[in-house]
Amino acid sequence: MKDEISKTNKRVVTVIPGDGIGPECVNAAMQIINAAGVNIEWEERHAGARVFKQGITSGVPADTIESIKKTRVVLKGPLETPVGFGQKSANVTLRKLFETYANIRPVREFAGVTTPYSGRGTDLVIVRENVEDLYAGIEHMQTPGVAQCLKLISRKGCEKIVRTAFEFARAEGRKTVACATKANIMKLTEGLLKKTFEEIAPEYPDIESWHVIIDNCAHQLVKKPEQYDVIVTTNMNGDIISDLTSGLVGGLGFAPTANLGNEVAIFEAVHGSAPKYAGEDVINPTAVILSGVMMLRHIEEFDAANLIENAVMVTIEEGKAATGDVVGYDKGTSTSVYTKTIIENLGRKPSKFQTRDYRPIKLPKISDEPVFVTAKSRRVIGADIFVEWPKNPEALGQSLDKIAETSDFRLKMISNRGTKVYPAGDAFPDCVDHFRCRFVLRDANADASSQQIMDLLARISASHTWMHVEKLQEIDGQPGYTMAQGED
């Protein structure tokens, strides 16, 4: 796809004003970009609350989608996700539609914004996988009282985000990349990111790399944030710690974001639409302005990006146009005056901030084939069958033992919320009505067929209610499943 150029020879960018305070913030960013002399033509489109109210359940109309397909670059204000109508958030819809798999959240200390961390030199970037993990949004009620959400982590998704993190570090001249996961508990899903990271890191010998458990990472971010440069992590972990890091430098009003994909890039603030302040001319537009700076670097308008970033930093450093979120809304500078002051400061450089020597980021080019990993060997050794059961696990186990005694399978164990409860062990579980029943082939060297598992299901269905089935696979000789707590 080629960059969209208008008839006036300007780069066309889709602009989505957003909801609540969004239009004011986006207008401020556009004014400043225009004042910097950037050759951009804005193509306004809409998404979010006003679209939901039109009955478009995705929150993103067709003309917005077509505009983004054409321009490939979006500057967007915050979108409201109304409660009670519509489906997933329009923000998530846009990210998924255009496979913007990398969420980039830079955090840097602002001279002039006093926080408990002032003077510490906080200057880091969260690189968050942006389309899979729990945020795939695949949820089911298993029983009336038990809900399930599928945590999907792919090797392809891990490779894309890991390579993006290293390439981003190179583009900004950064020296370290840390990978933050919960691989000590979720050894297959979170562990896949850790494994991928450790396999790819040697390809970047110029960058120091290490792994950190995500909860320790959060602890260390509060204790000593200056030790981090780039942190790459999974979707939900990244969502949480990126907001944490924003708090280190003054809050979400100072937090720009880029959502990068191989075809489309979306730049936005991550703060909400704050409808109570809409139209009041009191909101801090810095996050959207700096998102615009990230956008300019993406389209390789480096000089204009540096010009605007320096003007923002001068304005904040001098404290002459402090917004209400910093000094209180009763005495803060208005959005319009703040914007005007930044424009007046174009061409000036701050004394306490140094612009980095940015280079274009090289996004990874990875096969778009669905099969990304091919196993040398695979074998199905059994199945986990999830059963709804209102009584104690002992009675369920005895019933399933009897059902399976003339089948190709034996009941190995039953667990409840991850803890083995049959055969009874040392645990004192408080069970719910959702039991994982693990069946394995009697012949330890055989390969279970789908028909064999279906025959087992038919036997169980005659007297029990089941919700879903997971095949137990060995992949390249290694178990493709985890053990229950207490299982041997």
Catalytic residues, which ones? Answer: 135, 182, 215, 239
Alpha carbons 339 and 236: distance in angstroms, whole number: 34
* CA 427 – CA 20 distance, rounded (Å): 52
Q: Could you give the CA distance from residue 258 to residue 456 in angstroms, rounded to a whole number?
A: 49
25 within 8 A of 16, measured Cβ to Cβ: no
Q: In 261-392, where do the E strands start and end?
A: 265-269, 378-388
Question: How many CA atoms within 13 Å lie on the side-chain side of 416?
Answer: 22
Sheet of strand 230-233, all strands in order from the earlier edge strand to the far edge: 40-44, 11-16, 73-76, 265-269, 256-260, 102-108, 123-129, 230-233, 176-181, 208-213
DSSP 275: G
d(CA 282, CA 325): 9
| CA gap 291, 313 in Å, rounded | 14
Surface-to-core class of residue 458, CB atoms within 10 Å of its CB (0-12 exposed, 13-18 middle, 19+ buried): exposed
Would you give the distance in Å from CA 22 to the centre of its chain?
Answer: 21
> Which residue reads 């002459």 in tokens?
320
**DSSP-derived 3-state class of residue 313:** helix
SS3 labels along 379-398: EEEEEEEEEECCCCHHHHHH
